[in-house]
Amino acid sequence: MQHDRPNSPAARDVAYHFHPYTDARAHEEQGPLIITKGAGCTVTDDSGKQYIEGMAGLWCTALGYGQERLIQAAERQLRELAYYHSFAHKVPPSVIELSETLLGIAPGKMGKVAYANSGSEANDTAVKFVWYYNNALGRREKKKIISRKRGYHGITIASGSLTGIPKNHLDFDLPIEGVRHTGCPHYHAEAHAGESEEAFSQRLADELDQLIQDEGPETVAAMIAEPVMGAGGVVIPPAGYWKKVQAVLKKHDVLLIADEVICGFGRTGQMFGCQTFGIEPDMVTCAKALSSAYVPISAIMMRDEIYQAIADNTHKIGTFAHGFTYSGHPVAAAVALETLKIYEEMDIAARARDLSPHLQDGLRAYADHPLVGEVRGVGLIAGVELLADKATRTPFDPVGKVGGYLDARCRDHGVILRNMGDTLAFCPPLVIEPKQIDEIVAAFGRALEETW
């Protein structure tokens, strides 16, 4: 094994680096995959093997690698003003421009934007805004946040609590108090026999209504949700879901935070997932494709009415005591601004719409394969769920093993995907070429045949 070679990069990685989302003991055994270069929609490892990035990194490198305009935007800003902050009335010009541009394309009626560095920080910040807002209105009881089983909102203490995936809670002593999880809109897995999509959506909305009533509407502040669940298994909302859920939230005066960290910036075929699914959010969080992942940056947007209540309170206290050293980093803002310009010039959402059938139909060709439980997707995001028995919807035991094997076979065939508990995710850069989509689909098909 390469990492057994003394002082090799792989051996040094095993010796010194604790990897995120990695089985630490398995890593000691197998060592890392060292990715050294990226160009367009491909990356290369340290042995020179090239891979198509079927996952845009972690759902984020929307413009692929080596985008010269983004590199130049970063370089220009680094030379001009490498760092300044936005605390206490200061601001670098690139942040002013980004704020105006972002609010210009935001879904719903967003009036103000704040910045952070990651999706987790953005969602933590959104929770703090919601708490602060309700305190400002004198509704000190109204603090609980509802998210959904299988939802993914990050890994910090608050956002990790909002995440509805057991592994993210287990042995981290999460979730924190005040977080509730409601049902997941996974029609294929959760609907009763013979239940229509509309009826299933109604059942979930009724369940949400009951949860809010049981908790007491005066204690429930907000619901956070991804328009399409990503890391929870690429779960596409069934017909009527968002309309019914929003009606329940409105009835109980519960805010809706749309987590657009994956869906934002064209992924679902519209600029934001909210637009694809008719969602009118009160707050929006985004990250990842905001800068095409060239530098870390995330944003939290809110309706003007929320801002006004918060602003009154900051005036009473004399400050809004929240913000990161790197909230609105000028280099990140300059790169994000250039990214948004490129999206507009390319009409990135239209590109995702146009390429969508190529990916979705390509994958659906495997829907009848004995290992495939369901193929689902929208725009340029898709998931293929693997099941031991389709008829009874029996998962593999242990869950994740077959998906992990398939994932590894795809990598052997030069395509990087991501296995999430036996759902293989597909989320290529939005600049992917049709021919590369064909290669992704073909590698997946080959791996499937080798596995069965």
Q: How many CB atoms within 10 Å of residue 280?
A: 15
Segment near ligand PLP (CB under 6 A), from 29-37, 129-137, 211-219, 224-232? 224-232
Q: How many CB atoms within 10 Å of residue 283?
A: 26
CB of 232 to ligand PLP, least distance (A): 9
CB of 243 to ligand PLP, least distance (A): 21
Query: 60: exposed, middle or buried (C-beta count within 10 Å: 0-12, 13-18, 19+)?
Result: buried
Residue 120 touching ligand PLP (CB under 6 A): yes
Segment near ligand PLP (CB under 6 A), from 46-54, 226-234, 327-335, 368-376? 226-234
Strand order in the sheet with 283-286: 110-116, 298-303, 283-286, 255-259, 220-225, 144-148, 179-182
| Residues linked to residue 40 through DSSP beta bridges, in sequence order | 65
Q: Which of 31, 57, 64, 230 binds ligand PLP (CB under 6 A)?
A: 230
Residue 259 touching ligand PLP (CB under 6 A): yes
Segment near ligand PLP (CB under 6 A), from 49-57, 257-265, 335-343, 439-447? 257-265
Residue placing its CB nearer to ligand PLP in the complex, 259 or 282 = 259
Instruction: Tell me the per-residue interface mask from 284 to 303 with ligand PLP, x by CB under 6 A, - otherwise.
Output: ---x----------------
The structure tokens listed for 72 are: 């130049």
Residue 226 touching ligand PLP (CB under 6 A): yes
The structure tokens listed for 440 are: 């992704």
Residue 261 touching ligand PLP (CB under 6 A): yes
CB of 323 to ligand PLP, least distance (A): 17
CA atoms within 13 A on the CB side of 311: 11
Instruction: Tell me the per-residue interface mask from 328 to 367 with ligand PLP, x by CB under 6 A, - otherwise.
Output: ----------------------------------------
Residue 423 touching ligand PLP (CB under 6 A): no
Q: How many CB atoms within 10 Å of residue 70?
A: 22
3-state helix, strand, coil in the chain (%, to 5): 45, 15, 40
Residue 311's contacts (CB-CB under 8 Å, 6 or more residues apart) are none
Residue 118 touching ligand PLP (CB under 6 A): yes
The C-alpha atoms of residue 424 and residue 417 are separated, in whole angstroms, by 7
State the number of binding residues for ligand PLP (CB under 6 A): 16
Residue 341's contacts (CB-CB under 8 Å, 6 or more residues apart) are 69
Residue placing its CB nearer to ligand PLP in the complex, 154 or 373 = 154
Residue nearest to ligand PLP (CB): 119
- Type of residue at 334: A
Query: Which H/E stretch holds residue 94?
Result: helix 93-105
Residue 231 touching ligand PLP (CB under 6 A): yes
The C-alpha atoms of residue 84 and residue 328 are separated, in whole angstroms, by 8
The C-alpha atoms of residue 260 and residue 288 are separated, in whole angstroms, by 9
CB of 446 to ligand PLP, least distance (A): 28
Q: How many CB atoms within 10 Å of residue 361?
A: 11
Q: Which of 119, 233, 266, 377 binds ligand PLP (CB under 6 A)?
A: 119
CB of 186 to ligand PLP, least distance (A): 16
CB of 224 to ligand PLP, least distance (A): 9
Q: Which of 63, 95, 248, 262 binds ligand PLP (CB under 6 A)?
A: 262
Instruction: Tell me the per-residue interface mask from 136 to 165 with ligand PLP, x by CB under 6 A, - otherwise.
Output: ----------------xxx-----------
Residues binding ligand PLP (CB under 6 A): 58-59, 118-120, 123, 152-154, 226, 230-231, 259, 261-262, 287
